[in-house]
Amino acid sequence: MQNLTNASADPIGWHGTTILCVRRDGTVTMAGDGQVSMGQTIVKGNARKVRRIGAGGTVIAGFAGATADAFTLLERLESKLERYPNQLERACVELAKDWRTDRYLRRLEALMAVADKDRSFTLTGNGDVLEPEDGVIGIGSGGNYALAAARALMSVPDLTAEDIARRAMKIAADICVYTNGNTIVESI
């Protein structure tokens, strides 16, 4: 979760985290690694990048990008959820509109994955509110590794959403230098 003010030096775009959301058999699980990096240095290994938000913790959210930016966006999403209770999609769309049009917010560098019992979305600063076709979302520097692993593991019938998320996160941590094996998991 490094501040990426010099995006041209980083062709991937996002360093320092992996967030994975897996939806299966009525359960949604979000997992995030705990590594915080500044450049090539690991500053912290047990950061909590996945958390419950909304009234009663009915929404789980994970973030990748600059930490302060992500916390600002999480707070904004929580206020949208208060205004539109039990309407995750509406709250996400309203946040995305603000994020894209507000002069202060549009400078924030982060991505978010959010989910409730029914729906999952990826939110970007470009105004995107994207719902996956297959119930799997991967964001951050190791997001594509975790996403690919989770999609492959979805074909294993006896695995739960949490099993898939944990195994896919381990694979991402073994590949991505900005991802560690200290995984935080939340399920609904």
Domain CATH number, residue 155: 3.60.20.10
Residue 28 to residue 171: CA distance in whole angstroms: 19
Flag whether 32 is in a domain.
yes
Flag whether 19 is in a domain.
yes
Q: What is the mean pLDDT of residues 54-65?
A: 94
Q: Among this protein's residues, is 41 annotated catalytic?
A: no
Report the number of distinct structural domains present in the chain.
Answer: 1
pLDDT band at 7 (very low <50, low <70, confident <90, very high): very low
Flag whether 2 is in a domain.
no
Neighbours of 27 (CB within 10 A): 13
Please determine, for residue 12, whether its predicted confidence score (pLDDT) is greater than 50: no
Flag whether 1 is in a domain.
no
Please determine, for residue 48, whether its predicted confidence score (pLDDT) is greater than 90: yes
- Choice among 20-29, 87-96, 100-109, 113-122 with the minimum mean pLDDT: 100-109
Looking at 5, 17, 29, 58, which residue is catalytic? 17
Flag whether 52 is in a domain.
yes
Residue 169 to residue 183: CA distance in whole angstroms: 7
Please determine, for residue 155, whether its predicted confidence score (pLDDT) is greater than 60: yes
pLDDT value, residue 129: 97
Phi, psi of 187 (to 5 degrees): -130, 150
pLDDT band at 15 (very low <50, low <70, confident <90, very high): low
Flag whether 105 is in a domain.
yes
* Average pLDDT taken over every residue of the chain: 90
CB of 38 within 8 A of CB of 20? no
- Whole-model pTM above 0.75? yes
Domain that holds residue 70: 7-187
